[in-house]
Chains A and B, each alone.
Chain A
Amino acid sequence: MSDSASTLEAIISQEYQHGFETSVEADTLPRGLSEETVRMISAKKNEPEFLLEWRLAAFRRWLDMKPPEWASVHHPPIDYQDIIYYSAPKSQKDGPKSLEEVDPELLKTYEKLGIPLHERAILAGVAVDAVFDSVSVATTFKDKLAEKGIIFCSFSEAVQEHPELVRQYLGSVVPVQDNFYAALNSAVFSDGSFVYIPPGVRCPMELSTYFRINAKNTGQFERTLIIADRDSYVSYLEGCTAPMRDENQLHAAVVELVALENAQIKYSTVQNWYPGDKEGRGGIYNFVTKRGDCRGAHSKISWTQVETGSAITWKYPSVILRGDHSVGEFYSVALTNHRQQADTGTKMIHMGKNTRSTIISKGISAGYGHQAYRGLVRIARAAQNARNYTQCDSLLLGDRCAAHTFPYIEVKNASAKVEHEASTSRIGEDQLFFCRQRGLTMEDAVSMIVNGFCKEVFKELPMEFAVEAQKLLGVSLEGSVG
């Protein structure tokens, strides 16, 4: 009896599944940020002169900038001098050429996370550029991709081997002075992924990367750059988990997408970082700048995100529709439970003729969660026949949560058609009653209704992500109904 009680206890207190920590010796810079830190990061990574200059320019801009205050999120001020800006696993220095050379501790971590690295990677048909803290450890499928001329590597590797591409595209979508966190990232970014799809190539597999924040107090500053050249196609997956800890961690990533003529980029994210405990202690601060540039005619960029983690999310994946006939899409499910806060949405900037954009945003707020959709649809004067459809719905679970909608619509062209719809409601008693009387438990009923609510977004996700995302919602909502 007492045995089963303690087992039950153990199950209940199991708050965050992926909360373990790998102790790997890390090569870490001291806390704090100065021009010296930026120079050291650049030197450690053996970067060319132009990149150092670029970082320094960003750093100088950053010094004059203030953290944004307009978002409806609340957190104590962040001490940017109390962060370690660089930490690389020690074993990286020898530069592992294959999986065998990789630190077994690291491999174990990935195993626990269920990353399809190793043989499983081949079976799953996924190439993984796994980022452990700040430096890429292993990249698989490179050869297979290389055959087609696709470059899929860590950002540091791209800097060494394709500096001309990096130089041409880095910062061309998100300029260093874009916003406070983007400037910070530009100054101190450690690593990330780099993808280049040559003209006419359809990437044969989903490219995937797993981010994982490890080593205490290390803010991660990822930099991702994806370039789809003319007539190419790529689908990119990003998924995240992070170990549990009490101190808030800052994550300020920048993702830049460039789609040239006729190219298509599909970028999917499942974000499940540590959201903090029920009282709102700990958790990741996720301040991300994601932007795509439809530079060529007939290009298309599609963002799909499922945001269930992080204590605070500040994220607006956007598309600049520069090319004529280009298409931008944004599909989002954001869930805030306990004390989580999310201020998320998108920007669709229509500049080319006959551009189209679709925004589907589903927000679910439970417990004391606070959530805001903040979006901008701008139709520039020259954007003839632009079309936008926006739908943002919020679902409220519990009487202490909140959902806000701030859509900005700016239209300067009379041929534009812009539609915006939003609704906020809670799960209908009648829907619940129907499910319950068919024998479903309360939790299953809620989970089913919530998944139905999000269906339009989930169907945009690649298959394996869609399954994962549905499970994730169920898990994240645990304890919010009763």
Chain B
Amino acid sequence: MSTAIAHYQSEFERLGSLLPWQDSPQWQEWRRSGWAHFASLGFPTTRHEEWKYTSLAALEKLALSCAPAAPEAPQPTWDSLKARAVLPQARYRAVFVDGRFSPQLSQLDGLPAGIAVRPLSALSVRDSLGLQVPLQAVRARTPFAGLNAAFMAEGAWITAAAEASLDDPLLILYVTTRGGQAQHVVNAYHLAAGSRVAVAEQYLGLTDEAYFVNQVAGVRLETGAQLSHVKLQQEGGRAYHIGALQASQQGGSRFESHSFALSGAFGRNDMETALLEPGASVVMNGLYRVASREFQDFHTCIRHESPDCTSDEYFKGVLDGSGRAVFNGKIVVAQDAQHTASRQSNHNLLLSDQAEVDTKPQLEIFADDVKCSHGATVGQLDEAQLFYLRSRGLDPDHARTLLIEAFALDLLSSIGHAELRAAMDHLMRGHAHV
């Protein structure tokens, strides 16, 4: 057993009794199998195809505590967080500080009928079991999803009854204020038939010390349900963020996922959705931005399991300094998924000779009556465009910023939810300066 595994093993033994729902045999089994999954796979190495360009060596060396922050730890105030929040005016918000739910900072009163947003720590054993439905598939997605299943203690549980709708977007904010911690957080969404939810998950690092956010999201959309989802990573300069998301979509449902990895030393996201019944559609978009020595990695998979489903995937990357990024987008079209329409593209802007991008758009198609396409490009700022802007009197820096902004902001137009789009637009404009 490697020292890293041994460390997490001792954490698992130390914290076992402190984790929620200990007296439930279902949860005991859940944690045990999650642990077994992680322990059997261990930290993947670059010899593993899915981790070919992604080295975890540095993370493996960190001995991080898996215990949630002490409740008496000093808390930031909402006024101080507001300036950084993507939805500063959010009517509903769930705020977590160092892996622990903060009732003072959160605002969950007056949710529309049929909509429930609850922190995991507030769930009774009986209420908690519903979580296993959307999380069932994701816990074996990666070794870290297994580790998360073993340790999960906090997060948000969002449910919508049939035809209910949450149009004012919900903000779920995870703030990290100190290093040395491994947070295993969970977001679970179960949207009943015809319901509608808009949400922004934001991960904000306020420390330059090393920490690790090991996050998992499970999404289940019943017939005709719609989820608009924004995930925003603004982690600290020495932070590790590993995320896994798994969605399952019933007939006519729509999942709009927009990921923005804007900062953090290391980021890795494994995202997968399965289109299980006719008429389901997914938009899976994202932007990764790396500078200095940062690293971001997106592995996505869209499974067309049923006829007449559509998927659109659009990822962009802006790479500067000695930053590195990896994109691996897989589209699988099952044998009977006729009339599938699928588009995927990945565009990368390289701004520095030290930067590196490795991209692999992948198609696996077993049905014949399909229209699938993918494209990938790697390029740099266009000299002619720079010249044009400079000839109009812009200084080089400004011209450059404008072009980078144009490249990145182009993604935002695909965010269907107007308020989320406006919020992201506001945030990105302040951030385009690389």
Contacts and interface: CB of A to CB of B under 8 A. Distances in A.
B374 A422 contact: yes
Contacts of B362: 404-407
A417 B353 CA distance: 13
A425 B350 contact: no
B363 A405 contact: yes
Interface of B: 49, 53, 335, 338, 348, 350-353, 355-380
Interface string A295-308: 00000000000000
A400 B365 CA distance: 10
B375 A399 contact: no
A410 B350 CA distance: 12
A406 B329 CA distance: 10
Nearest to B324: A412
B355 A404 contact: no
B353 A396 contact: no
A24 interface: no
B373 A424 contact: yes
Interface string A420-439: 11111110000000000000
Residues of A in contact with B, size category: 35 or more
A424 B365 contact: yes
15 contacts: A399-B335, A399-B369, A404-B363, A404-B364, A405-B363, A410-B357, A412-B355, A412-B356, A419-B375, A420-B359, A422-B361, A422-B374, A422-B375, A425-B371, A425-B372
Contact of A414 (B350, B370, B371, B374): B350
Contacts of B350: 411, 413-414, 416
Nearest to B377: A419
Contact of A411 (B351, B357, B364, B370): B357
B361 A414 contact: no
A461 B357 CA distance: 34
Contact of B366 (A397, A402, A407, A421): A402
Given A381-B353, A409-B360, A422-B361, A397 B374 contact: no
A405 B369 contact: no
Nearest to B376: A420
A50 interface: no
Given A397-B368, A404-B362, A414-B380, A422 B356 contact: no
B359 A409 contact: yes
B378 A403 contact: no
Given A414-B351, A418-B379, A422-B373, A399 B368 contact: yes
A396 B352 CA distance: 41
A421 B373 contact: yes
Contacts of B360: 406-409
B361 A407 contact: yes
Contacts of B371: 423-425
Given A409-B359, A418-B378, A419-B375, A424 B348 contact: no
A420 B375 contact: yes
Nearest to A400: B335
B42 to A, nearest CB: 21
Nearest to A391: B375
Contacts of B363: 394, 403-405, 422, 424
Given A408-B358, A411-B348, A411-B350, A403 B377 contact: no
A102 B376 CA distance: 54
Contacts of A407: 360-362, 376
A261 B235 CA distance: 50
A409 B378 contact: yes
A218 B245 CA distance: 51
Contacts of A398: 368
Nearest to B366: A402
A415 interface: yes
Contacts of A379: 378
Contacts of A70: 49
Nearest to A422: B374
B373 A423 contact: yes
A426 B369 contact: yes
A414 B353 contact: yes
Contacts of A425: 370-372
B49, B53, B352, B369, most chain A CB atoms within 10 A: B369
A409 B361 CA distance: 9
Contacts of A420: 359, 361, 374-377
A301 to B, nearest CB: 23
Contacts of B359: 409, 411, 420
A384 B33 CA distance: 50
A183 interface: no
Given A398-B368, A409-B360, A423-B372, 7 more contacts: A402-B366, A406-B360, A409-B376, A411-B378, A412-B355, A417-B379, A418-B376
Contacts of B348: 411
Contact of B377 (A405, A408, A418): A418
Contacts of B355: 412, 414
A351 interface: no
Nearest to B53: A410
Nearest to B49: A70
A413 B378 CA distance: 10
Contacts of A418: 376-379
Given A410-B358, A411-B378, A424-B370, A402 B353 contact: no
Interface string A7-44: 00000000000000000000000000000000000000
A176 interface: no
A448 B363 CA distance: 26
A419 B363 CA distance: 16
